[in-house]
Structure 1
Amino acid sequence: MNWDPDALIPRRALPIARRRIAASRAVVINGPRQSGKTELLRELHRTAGGTLVSLDDASTRTAALEDPGGFVNGHDAPLFIDEVQRGGDPLLLAVKARLDRSRAKGQVVMAGSTRFLSEPRLSESLAGRVRFVDLWPLAQGEIESTVDGLVDAAFGGMARLLDLRVFAESREQTMARVCRGGFPEAVLADDPSERRDFFSDYVRTITARDVRLIRDIADLAGLRRVVRLSAAQTAGELNIAEFARSADLATDTCRRYLALLETVYLHHLVPAWSRNLTAKVRHRPKIHVTDTGVAAQLLGVGPDALSRPGTSVAGHLLESFVAGELARQLTWSDTDAELFHWSDRGGAEVDLVLESSDGRVVAIEVKAAVDINEADTKWLRKMRDKLDDQFVVGIVLHCGERPRRLGDRVVALPVSSLWADESPNPTRS
């Protein structure tokens, strides 16, 4: 990783945003705070012209709140609005009115640190008028200037996976990535204490400002308990009743707090997958903290602790790390697919399941171990045998350094395969 700290980090979302601006009246760029939305807007504005404003600026926000129609119509197009959620419903209604008057492309580009259509106060849907772009924290391929192409390679089958140019990394190096996360400021931090300060400030801002801008929270201590429990239970199935008991909150209150934290991207949910492989399938989603650097900070663990054998939290954080990388890749992959997990009441479980729009399936297990054995593929093989031709490949992602075939359409790959380039790999066996 050799960067000029003052240079723009190339983002996969940039060409996607440009295409959608050219093809639609308005675009919304969604993502966590500090994920790079402001920098992306600046780059789009630099090349497209128009007007760039931020509602984090008090005077700008006042102008938007006092006269939303004049604000939206009084600037040259395209109008780029950062932190749009701070303008509330009146501003969105003014945007809607502008879009209804003209079908011209690229009129308004909005960025916000909330899931746009799920925020309670932003009730006016702009469905049919806007396109969306998701901007996650940095993917590992963006950090390393490589291709994040595991999703497309996996749906290409075993041969394509084994042609990935895998970067050999130790378990310690992988866990350092997990603890660093993907927020640009944390990635670029020269000193571990700077990174810790960033994560602490991030969580403080989420709880003390962002959530409370959406809805008034009387029990701030309860909200903070939910934040910490989200980290403690990352990569686990979300049982609201049990979660609420652990947080010492009423079930409805806990459900509301979790929904608000999902709205501001502290965590994301991976739904359960079912193809009726068994009659005992479980239907609860899994909860994954969006950035594993934040989760590690909340849990008080670092790379050294996670690298020690037998550290149970290492597997959960690594699974959330992989889930986040796959979720990022799904925003730009050529393959149209969705991310799930699968488990049943009999104990069968596959950590992550990718299902394409045409019904093909890639199943992924995540192991923090360096060595993989046949037992680690048990549920992948079960899924393969049940799905037959619709099963493309099963993958065990692990902390070892070499890829290895493990049978018919089952392969073990290093975690670094997530951001590997596609070219002949001299280490495959």
Structure 2
Amino acid sequence: MTQTEPYLPRHLVTELEEAVASARVVNLIGPRQVGKTTLVRDLFGHGRFITLDDAAILSAIEADPEGQFASLMQELGPAPLIIDEAQRSKKLALTIKKVVDTDRRKGQFVLTGSSNVFTTTDVADSLAGRMRTLKLWPLSVTEIKSAPVSRLVDWGMQKQPHLSQISEPEPLTRGDYIDLILAGGFPETRTLPLRSRQRGYRDYIDAVVERDVADITPVRKPDALRILIDQMAARTAQEINTSALAKLTKLQRVTVDQYLDILMRLSMLTKLGAWTSGEGKREIKQPKYHFVDSGIACALRRFTDTSFDIDNTPQALGGLLESFVVGELQRALPLQDADYRMYHWRSADQREIDILIDGGNHLVNIEVKASATVSSDDFKHLQWFVKDGPGRGKTCTGLVFYLGREKLSFGGGNYALPVSALWSEITL
């Protein structure tokens, strides 16, 4: 954290405190430099902190994990042992399992890392009920603005949502939204001047390829992986044809699939599965991939605030804005009152819904529009889905996020909302 950047309270604090009180092991994962270490140091100042980025500590734990842990745990008392960059040790998971098998005390370990150290199926299964895994994403706009957690999904899941429950959204211009997309959500990088920020984000990608990927699996062609990352930045918010990507990157398709899985485990990409209703012949089942951080995606594509001008590449804003909205929703989703799942949907005849949030019998269906105006035509797929499509028999709320400033009702449970409504205060 730079000296000029104040500490921004993270919405995950409450979840983290509850996890430490209810589980023996808490596993906090997320991209590097996203603020995991800052969060646990701030929250658990009374615990013992070690980092496996320290070669001497890592070497000692790899040489005698059980002996080192016995010594560390004896010194701790009731405080947690906090292990930073936990994925660097190959012996950590099994040793922790042995400790918590014999000691039932809650909050013994808090682990942080860019990927999940508990990847072995038998170890993960044996820790079921004893471990909580939480993910810390890049900063949401609500966190940047020190606003309350967005309750927009809970709002949409009501039987009769009312626009009056949403406080007046922040009146932003198209340029303001572009600035937010360009900045991204990494605490130390987002506030830098554009040129330094984008260099920082590109250096970040180099560090991920050179260090973090190796913690998961050896990569024979790191240059090809870097090309794949660039291609995914250019294809954010798209369904991905892995065969086409394989030809482009000169990799085998199975290798492309493996690399995409690594990038998701490192929280660089997120994948929205295709929602299906059971009417399989009418629905496309390919997943849609989103770049997790819009600032990194823009840096890789060398975008600036003029890149989206009418005489440049204005069409590129659509996918980035959709991924930006997905990111805001994804960060808020675990903090809603119920457990919701996020998908996308497309039919064989090209009807589509950008984001579908499944709450069981109630669906919130979302379209994202990179325009300051909205009309009834923008709701045609949402309306068909409910009336004649696979949403029949379910309660559905339809939302179109756009770059205008007004909250509007279009009837039949359909609403147009400014994108800034994602960080508006909501009264339920």
| TM-score normalized by the length of structure 1 | 0.92
Match of 2:175?
Answer: 172
Query: Residue 78 of structure 1 contacts residue 109 of structure 1 at CA under 8 Å; is this kept in 2?
Result: yes
Match of 1:53?
Answer: 50
Match of 2:424?
Answer: 420
- Measured after TM superposition, the shift of residue 312 of structure 1 is 1.7
Match of 1:205?
Answer: 207
Tell me the secondary structure at the aligned position of residue 216 of structure 1. coil
One-letter amino acid of the counterpart of residue 95, structure 1? I
Output aligned runs, 1:246-261, within 5 Å: 246-261=248-263
Q: 2:151 aligns with which of 149, 152, 175?
A: 149
Match of 2:60?
Answer: 63
CA distance in 2, matches of 1:218, 1:395: 44
Output aligned runs, 1:109-258, within 5 Å: 109-118=110-119, 124-125=123-124, 126-147=127-148, 148-156=150-158, 159-165=161-167, 166-189=169-192, 191-258=193-260
One-letter amino acid of the counterpart of residue 275, structure 2? W
One-letter amino acid of the counterpart of residue 88, structure 2? R
One-letter amino acid of the counterpart of residue 57, structure 1? D
Output aligned runs, 1:13-28, within 5 Å: 13-28=12-27
CA distance in 2, matches of 1:267, 1:326: 15
Match of 2:333?
Answer: 330
Query: Residue 352 of structure 1 contacts residue 364 of structure 1 at CA under 8 Å; is this kept in 2?
Result: yes
One-letter amino acid of the counterpart of residue 422, structure 1? I
Match of 1:78?
Answer: 80
- Measured after TM superposition, the shift of residue 384 of structure 1 is 2.1
Tell me the secondary structure at the aligned position of residue 326 of structure 1. helix
Q: 1:410 aligns with which of 392, 411, 414?
A: 414
C-alpha spacing 1:6/1:347, structure 2 compared with 1 (3 Å): closer
Query: Residue 54 of structure 1 contacts residue 82 of structure 1 at CA under 8 Å; is this kept in 2?
Result: yes
C-alpha spacing 1:380/1:115, structure 2 compared with 1 (3 Å): farther
Q: 1:352 aligns with which of 336, 350, 355?
A: 355
Task: Report the count of equivalent residues.
Answer: 415
One-letter amino acid of the counterpart of residue 355, structure 1? D
Which whole-Å deviations, capped at 9, do the CAs of 1:49-93 have from their partners, x for residues lacking one? 2211111112221121111112222221410111100012x1111
Query: Residue 151 of structure 1 contacts residue 335 of structure 1 at CA under 8 Å; is this kept in 2?
Result: no
CA distance in 2, matches of 1:157, 1:421: 19
Match of 1:390?
Answer: 394
- Measured after TM superposition, the shift of residue 317 of structure 1 is 0.5
CA distance in 2, matches of 1:339, 1:304: 32
Which whole-Å deviations, capped at 9, do the CAs of 1:23-68 have from their partners, x for residues lacking one? 111110011111110011101221xx22111111122211211111
- Measured after TM superposition, the shift of residue 359 of structure 1 is 2.7
CA distance in 1, matches of 2:113, 2:198: 25
One-letter amino acid of the counterpart of residue 99, structure 1? V
- Measured after TM superposition, the shift of residue 303 of structure 1 is 2.6
C-alpha spacing 1:329/1:295, structure 2 compared with 1 (3 Å): same
One-letter amino acid of the counterpart of residue 60, structure 1? I
Query: Residue 185 of structure 1 contacts residue 198 of structure 1 at CA under 8 Å; is this kept in 2?
Result: no
One-letter amino acid of the counterpart of residue 398, structure 1? Y
CA distance in 2, matches of 1:278, 1:382: 17
CA distance in 2, matches of 1:231, 1:414: 25
Tell me the secondary structure at the aligned position of residue 109 of structure 1. strand
One-letter amino acid of the counterpart of residue 20, structure 1? A
C-alpha spacing 1:116/1:139, structure 2 compared with 1 (3 Å): farther
Tell me the secondary structure at the aligned position of residue 308 of structure 2. helix
Tell me the secondary structure at the aligned position of residue 145 of structure 1. coil
Match of 1:367?
Answer: 369
CA distance in 1, matches of 2:199, 2:16: 31
CA distance in 2, matches of 1:262, 1:335: 24
CA distance in 1, matches of 2:225, 2:48: 37
Query: Residue 150 of structure 1 contacts residue 418 of structure 1 at CA under 8 Å; is this kept in 2?
Result: yes
- 2:9 matched to 1:10? yes
Tell me the secondary structure at the aligned position of residue 147 of structure 2. coil
Q: Which runs of 5+ in 1 are unaligned?
A: 425-429
CA distance in 2, matches of 1:369, 1:116: 43
- Measured after TM superposition, the shift of residue 370 of structure 1 is 1.0
Query: Residue 407 of structure 2 contacts residue 415 of structure 2 at CA under 8 Å; is this kept in 1?
Result: yes
CA distance in 2, matches of 1:64, 1:116: 15
Q: Which runs of 5+ in 2 are unaligned?
A: none
Query: Residue 171 of structure 1 contacts residue 307 of structure 1 at CA under 8 Å; is this kept in 2?
Result: no
- Measured after TM superposition, the shift of residue 240 of structure 1 is 1.4
Query: Residue 280 of structure 1 contacts residue 344 of structure 1 at CA under 8 Å; is this kept in 2?
Result: yes
- 2:38 matched to 1:35? no
CA distance in 1, matches of 2:69, 2:376: 61
Match of 1:427?
Answer: none
**271-280 or 22-31: bigger deviation:** 271-280
C-alpha spacing 1:93/1:162, structure 2 compared with 1 (3 Å): same
Query: Residue 30 of structure 1 contacts residue 116 of structure 1 at CA under 8 Å; is this kept in 2?
Result: no
Query: Residue 367 of structure 1 contacts residue 398 of structure 1 at CA under 8 Å; is this kept in 2?
Result: yes
- Measured after TM superposition, the shift of residue 392 of structure 1 is 3.2
**12-21 or 179-188: bigger deviation:** 179-188
Query: Residue 398 of structure 1 contacts residue 413 of structure 1 at CA under 8 Å; is this kept in 2?
Result: yes
Tell me the secondary structure at the aligned position of residue 290 of structure 2. strand
Which whole-Å deviations, capped at 9, do the CAs of 1:104-138 have from their partners, x for residues lacking one? 111111111014445x7x97323332011111011
Aligned-residue identity in percent = 32
- 2:339 matched to 1:340? no
CA distance in 1, matches of 2:240, 2:182: 23
C-alpha spacing 1:138/1:97, structure 2 compared with 1 (3 Å): same
**17-26 or 251-260: bigger deviation:** 251-260
Query: Residue 361 of structure 1 contacts residue 390 of structure 1 at CA under 8 Å; is this kept in 2?
Result: yes
Tell me the secondary structure at the aligned position of residue 307 of structure 2. helix
